[in-house]
Amino acid sequence: MDGISFDVEVGKTLGIVGESGCGKSVTALSIMGLIPKPPARIVSGSVEFEGRDLTKLKDSELENIRGKEIAMIFQDPMTSLNPTLTIGTQITETLTRHLGMSRSEADRRAIELLDEVRIPNAKARLKDYPHRYSGGMRQRVMIAIALSCHPKLLIADEPTTALDVTVQAGILDLLEELRQEHQMAMILITHDMGVVAEAADDVVVMYAGQIVEQAEVLELFDHPEHPYTEALLGALPSLEGESGREARLASIPGRPPDLLNPPPACRFAPRCPHANRQDSCTTEPPELRELRPGHWVRSAHPACERAAVAV
């Protein structure tokens, strides 16, 4: 991952979208200081949270922020819960660790939290082990744990990817309600453009470890500028509108580059339909530039400039 910059405003949702291996989860883990070092290294850059640079904090200081002010939920609620501990124990652990609550206080709060994430019959269910919960219910427990210390920022890494669509809808609704209630900002990491369209206020599109496009959500879907974003939207089979049975899907030829040996200039150039001839984009890496206020693109051939040339 290389040169990532973005801001998340208080109470807003930033969607980070990209395909597997594009660096979206690594971005999130770096914010949390959870990248194993070595082998990984944060060579440069800063993560500022309410004015403090998280990359410069000591581990012990970071631990106080992690879980308390910034919380994280992961894709697989099956593996992020400890199967040998009851749900109750796992929720109260955070409460006693970060908030210094007593056992009985923590128990009471745990019931409130399960109520808050709409788990019926919360009191009895605290004594259950994770295997007694369905995937959607487990993700609700993870959200309850994440919310327990009233974080200001929630990082959700593919929170609904392992879930069925009807369960996903419930989780997305829940996250939205809780976010509004608690004035919480969210970073939502996903590969699903539909989830981004539903839940994000602002969007970052990543490709091969870089941000290739960044804009407000309506602007991004109305006027995608980067050839990769355009291709990604074009490659999605549609659920509504004209029948897709006959039309060919626009596919993106080739596959994402090997990040150990990325293309020298624009990382999308080898798959880009607009990169050709002695183009600058095959010789020098394009910078992220602001085409319109708030709309950033890393490409020598954004859609609006191609249109201008065509006329």
Partner 1 sequence: MSTNGKAKEPLLAVRGLEKYFPVKSGFLVERTVDYVKAVDGVDFEIAEGTTLGLVGESGSGKSTTGYCVLQLLKPTGGSVRFDGEELTELGNERLRKMRRQMQIVFQDPYSSLNPRMTVGDIVSEPLVVHGIGTRKSRRESVRQLLDVVGFDPTYTNRYPHEFSGGQRQRIGIARALALNPKLIVCDEPVSALDVSIQAQILNLLRDLQRDFGLTYLFIAHDLAVVRAMSDTIAVMNQGKIVEAGPAEQIYTSPQNEYTKALLTAVPVADPRRQRERKAERRRLKHALTEGF
Where do contacts with partner 1 occur on this chain (CB under 8 A)?
Answer: 19-20, 120, 133-134, 136-137, 164-170, 172-173, 191-198, 217-218, 221, 231-233, 235-240, 243-245, 248-253, 255-256
The 10 Å CB-count burial string (b at 16+, else e) for 229-255 is: bbbbeeeeeeeeeeeeeeeeeeebeee
Count, residues in the chain:
311
Smaller CB separation from partner 1, 97 or 170: 170
Number of CB atoms found within 10 A of residue 85's CB? 13
Q: How far is the CB of 49 from partner 1 (least distance, A)?
A: 27
Nearer of residues 191 and 274 to partner 1, judged by Cβ: 191
| Least spacing, CB of residue 125 vs partner 1, in Å | 9
Nearest-angstrom CA–CA distance, 256 and 306 = 23
Q: What angle do CA 130, 134, 135 make, to 5 degrees?
A: 95
Backbone angles phi, psi at 268, to 5 degrees: -95, -10
Inter-axis angle of helices 135-147 and 87-99, nearest 10? 10
Closer to partner 1 at the Cβ: 151 or 268? 268
- At its nearest, how many Å lie between partner 1 and the CB of residue 267? 14
Strand partners, 292: 295
Contacts of 264 (CB under 8 A, 6+ apart): 283, 285
Q: Which is nearer to partner 1, 19 or 305 (CB)?
A: 19
C-alpha to C-alpha distance for 280 and 300, rounded to whole angstroms: 7
Q: Which two tokens stand for residue 219?
A: 């602007």
Q: Which two tokens stand for residue 35?
A: 């990248």
- 268 near 182, Cβ under 8 Å? no
Q: Report in angstroms how near the CB of residue 133 gets to partner 1 at its nearest.
A: 7
CB proximity list for 212: less than 8 A, separation 6 or greater: 205, 206, 226, 228, 229, 268, 297, 298, 299
Q: Min. distance of Cβ 120 from partner 1 in angstroms?
A: 8
